Structures are given as C-alpha cells and as structure tokens.
Structure 1
C-alpha cells in the first residue's frame, strides 16, 4: 500500500514523499518513493505506480532484484532518503554518480574499483575536479558505504560489501583516508566586535533583512548550527529548554530531535528577534516565511554572509561553524562539567567535548551587551 509522508526543508517549505511498499509471495520485497512539492502530485504518483505494478508485477517487482549501475542506485537512494541527510552528504553522492565509477554495475564492483576511484580523487585526475584531502575522501567513502548498504539490505540488490570494506581497510592502512582534523580556531574579541559593528550598521541602513548582529551571538550563546537556528520553533521554547528539531547527528542524518538548555545570556537576543519591527524586516521579500519559527531564514545565506563579512574585514580562516567551537570554549571557561555542556550543545558523546575540559580561561572575553554598545556608538558617530 502507498502512503504520503510530509516533511519540511530547512527553509520551511513543505515536501511530500510518496512511498510504496509491497510484500508479495514469489517476489522480492519492493519499495519505492519519490518526493514532490505538492501532496496532490505525490498522491497521483502513488496511484499511478500501484496501478502499473498491479498490471505487470513480473516486470515492476523482479526488475528491482537485478543489478543496477551505481549511478542509478545513488539516484534511487537520494530519491527515497535524501531529505533525511545534510546537503554535504547529498552533494557528494551526486558528484560520485557522475564519475566513471557511477557507470559500473554494483554487482561487478571490486576493491580495485574503489581504490582507483580514491586515487583519482586524491590526485585530481578527474577532469574539472581538484585534488581532495584524505579527510574529504573519507566523506565520499562514507557516502558510498551508506548507498551500498541500503542497496543490499533494504532493496535486495547483489552487492559485495566485503570487497568494499577490504578496499577501505587498504586505503586507511596507506593513510589515503583519514578523519578530518579538528579545528581549534575561535574568533578573537576584536574580530567579534568588528563583525558585530559591521552587521549592525548594515541592518541599520537597511542593506539586509538578516539580523546577523543578533544571529552570530545567538549561535555563540546557544551553540546551535545555522541549520538548527533556522528550524527553532518559538513554541518549542519551554521553561529554559528548547526542542531542536532534526538536529544533526554523527551519521549525518536529520531525523532526531533533542532538548537543549538555553542559558540566560541568550534570552535578550531571543527577545530582540521577537520584536515586531525586527520580524517585519526579516519577512520582507521572504517567500518562505513561517511565523512559528524564530529565524525563518536561509541557513546557506547566513553562512555566506558571515564568510563575505570576514573576507571584507580581513579576518582570515574564520568559518561560521567556528562560532559553535567558541560556544563550547566559553562553557568550559565557566567551569561547566561535560554533562552540563552537553545539555547546551546537544553533543551525544563525551569525547566530542572532553578536549575542552582543561581549557585555560581567557583573560578577557567579549560579551553581547558590550559588543552592541560599541556598535551603536560607532553607528551614532558615523564611523560606519
């Protein structure tokens, strides 16, 4: 029987996934799904596919048990599961599907195919693509593993997972694949002040509908990623705790909800984002406005604006995600225990936060109220 599942994208727009699952004696388990922008389109697709399968089950069901090209398996995987994962995971798989390995039948893939793919990626041998790092290759390998496991375990396709895992062991042994290096970069007080003043001035002269001078500090005081900030529902904030929907987890999937503690220093910023005038500005030209969200904005735009501002102000090697590192550093400086830090950051493992435990507190740390005082004075004095 077919079903329709409603989901919401990071920008708040609704998507409808039509899903068909069939168990029939004499045939392999069959499942297929496709995502649409309207519920009526999803319902029509389900109805049409069910009719086709009913009319010709031999072709529609047994075809799924045969081998497929890796490219087609990736497309099917993204069609059915893509909305559960982050953009980086999905874009990596789309790229892989277009490379020579994507044209191979998955039942013929052997360790030498995976090794050749890895070497070509590391050495920039694919036309139009730069050489990548072992850490980036690790992301590609994880993506391929997810697709192959789904193909074998869920769809019953002929996949030799041992060949893949043996190839990965060889790549790790030769250090061609490695985990990403943990960044330790945090913004200095001067950099935070520069960014606050710059974003405040842009907001005051009406050059932006994004209150970035508030967003960056909300990120620091809540330890939330930009995607999570833009999914925060106002009604989910209850008694000092905020339910973060579709929080990222280590596997990259987007289906888990976590309760996180909101500290008092974030409350003035949250209140400021609820002011009618601020919300009216954010709503201007926003096609995907959702009044139930605290920040119904594009997470990609938030990151892009931060990057452009850093470049303009000559701030080197600072990324938006470093604000989350800054948040954890501040919690450690305030001598919170790891479990107390987890309540705020939402990390599900101690190991992710233990490196902060013995951090040496900085002598001076800029806070939001002081940063805004300086920004307002600079604006009043005409220095921006």
Structure 2
C-alpha cells in the first residue's frame, strides 16, 4: 500500500512524502518513504519502487542491514590479522580510507562512479594532492577488501565496480601504476647523511648505530624491517649469504624466506656487530624509521 502526504512549508511551497507499506499475513514486512518537491515525481517513485520490490528476494534485500566501507575494512583487518600480520603501509592506507568520506558509503551503494570520484578527490588538494600512483595504491588496497567482502561475508558489493573504476581512470589519462625509481642518492647527499648520523652517535653512543644500518642497507639492498629480522643463525659466512625472512613481495610475504647474497662490504659490516643477542642488528624498525 502506498500513500502520498502533502506538507506545507513555511515559505508557502509544498512537499510530497511518498510512503510504501507492505503487509503480508496481517503483518507489516517493509516500510519506506521519500520526500519530493513535486507530486508527479513522488508518484513516479512509488511506481518504480513497487515494481522493484515485487521482484523475488527484493524485500529481504531491502530489509538487510548493510555495512559501510569502514565496517568492511575493520572486519577485513580483524580477520586477516588472525592469519598473518598486514604491512604497516597497507594498514595505514586502509585506516585513512575508512576515516575519509568513502568510509561512510554503504556496501550496496559503492559503485564505479564513487570509486572514480574518490581517486580524483585524492589527487585534488582536498584529498591530499597525491600522485595518481598513490591513488592507485589506495584502490588496490581497498580492492583486496572488496574482493572477499561479497563471497566471504555476503556484503552487497558490485564485483565489477573496482575493475570498471580503474578502466575509467585509465581512459581519463591517469597513470595509476607505480613508476620505477630511477634515482640514487648522490655521494654528497650520502656524505651529509652519514656525517649527521656520526654526530648523533658521538653525542649519544647508546643510540641506534645508523652508520652501520645505513651502510648495510646500501650494500645489501635490504629493507629496514628485513634487516632487523636477520639472526646470527641466518648467516652463512662461508657462502657469503644471509637468510632474509618474510621478504616483501607483491603477494604473500609471510613465510617468503629467501637466501640473499652479501657483497664483501655488507659482510664486513656484519662482522663488526657484537654477538650479544640473537639478532645481528638488534634494533626496532619503527625506531630506525623515526
């Protein structure tokens, strides 16, 4: 049953509230209302919604409680952390998305247009003015959430929305793929950096030895988190190699343990480290970053 109620506004104009109430076996199973400025529009909405609600399963879908993007992200993080730790970059990106306006979008309302608008917003001044590659990373991390939200948890996510959004952005001329880095620090820059670390170490000998950390990173080409995980038991001095555990890769890093060759310079740095604990570089990666 549908009704239209007319209300007079303070300025003398009228509004039309269209209400749909569905009764089955004497009980109300669904109710919905919308307000319009024209009676004809309200009547058209009623015809359209009644036709939609007449489809099989439509009432059940209309009554379901949806989930916002933020809620989907929170569930994804909770479930994934049970199996393996997520990288700090991915966690930070997902947290930023959940706290943006996109986080309040309902699952069944999330479509290609909204995702494109979000990426463009991120590249604009209000969204941080990021590069297209960064906006592309946002979509990639969100895509990981959406890819399991429907089959695993039954959320009403359009399975084609993310793929279509990427196609549209490419057509608009945005290169969302990360660019390969082609620049190395100059010797002058390295000299200034190492001089700075030397001054800190002279002033505070108990601080992290960033001279050795920086030099080892340069010669071994390993990431700071990988370096701090290396143990003395992972070192093969005879083979000039070290076992890097959970090496980062585009897929699954957990359990991705790889033997990596060490040039003489990197091996020489290791040989200067004291064997006081099981880690060769017994530092916290977060502290190194700071």
Structure 1 length as normaliser, TM-score?
A: 0.53
| Structure-2 residue corresponding to 1:341 | none
Q: CA deviation at 1:164?
A: 2.2
Q: Out of 174-183 and 102-111, give the one that drifted further.
A: 174-183
Structure 1 residues 252 and 90: CA distance shift in structure 2, 3 A = farther
Provide the residue aligned with 2:87 in structure 1: 86
Contact persistence 1:134–1:175 (CA under 8 A): no
- Answer yes or no: is the 8 Å Cα contact 2:119–2:136 preserved in 1: no
Distance 1:151 1:253, change over 3 A: farther
Map of 1:274 onto structure 2? 274
**Is the Cα contact below 8 Å between 2:240 and 2:267 reproduced in 1?**
no
TM-superposition CA deviations, 1:14-58 (whole Å, max 9, x none): xxxxxxxxxxxxxxxxxxxxxxxxxxxxxxxxxxxxxxxxxxxxx
Q: Which residue of 1 aligns with 2:145?
A: 147
Structure 2 distance, partners of 1:236, 1:275, is 13
2:130 aligned counterpart, secondary structure: coil
Mapped contact 1:110–1:163 kept (Cα < 8 A): yes
Query: Which runs of no fewer than 5 residues in structure 2 stay unpaired?
Result: 1-63
Q: Paired residues, what number?
A: 223
1:297 aligned onto 2:248: no
**Relative to structure 1, is the Cα distance of residues 161 and 92 closer, same or farther in structure 2, using a 3 angstrom cutoff?**
same
Contact 2:139 2:162 survives alignment (8 Å): no
The CA deviation at 1:67 is: 4.1
- 1:284-304 deviations in Å (ceiling 9; x for gaps): xxxxxxx22112222233233
1:122 & 1:107 partners in 2: Cα distance? 25
Work out the CA distance in 2 between the residues paired with 1:257 and 1:91. Answer: 25
RMSD: 2.3
CA shift, 1:75, in A, is: 0.4
Distance 1:70 1:228 in 2: 32
CA drift of 1:208 comes to 5.1
Q: Is the 8 A contact 2:230 2:279 kept in 1?
A: yes
Task: Report the equivalent of 1:176.
Answer: 174
| 3-state SS of paired residue (2:245) | strand
Q: Within 5 Å, give how 1:186-335 maps onto structure 2.
A: 186-206=184-204, 209-238=207-236, 239-251=239-251, 253-274=253-274, 291-304=277-290
Gaps of 5+ in 1: 1-64, 277-290, 305-384
> How far apart, CA to CA, are the structure 2 residues paired with 1:271 and 1:165?
50
Distance 1:66 1:259 in 2: 49
State TM-score, norm by structure 2: 0.69
- The equivalences for 1:119-158 within 5 A come to 119-125=120-126, 129-158=127-156
Shift of 1:199: 2.0
Q: Residue deviations 1:262-283, cap 9 Å, x none?
A: 222212210112265xxxxxxx
Deviations 1:67-99 (A, max 9, x none): 422111100111122553321111111111112
Distance in structure 2 (CA, Å) of the matches to 1:71 and 1:233: 38
Contact 2:69–2:106 (8 Å) recurs in 1: yes
In 2: Cα distance, 1:79 partner to 1:168 partner: 27
SS of the residue 1:136 aligns to: helix
Give me the whole-angstrom Cα distance separating, in 2, the residues matched to 1:199 and 1:208: 13
What is the match of residue 100 of structure 1?
Answer: 101
TM-superposed deviation, 1:177: 4.6
Tell me, what secondary structure is at the counterpart of 1:273?
A: coil
CA drift of 1:252 comes to: 7.2
Change (3 A) 1:98 1:259: same
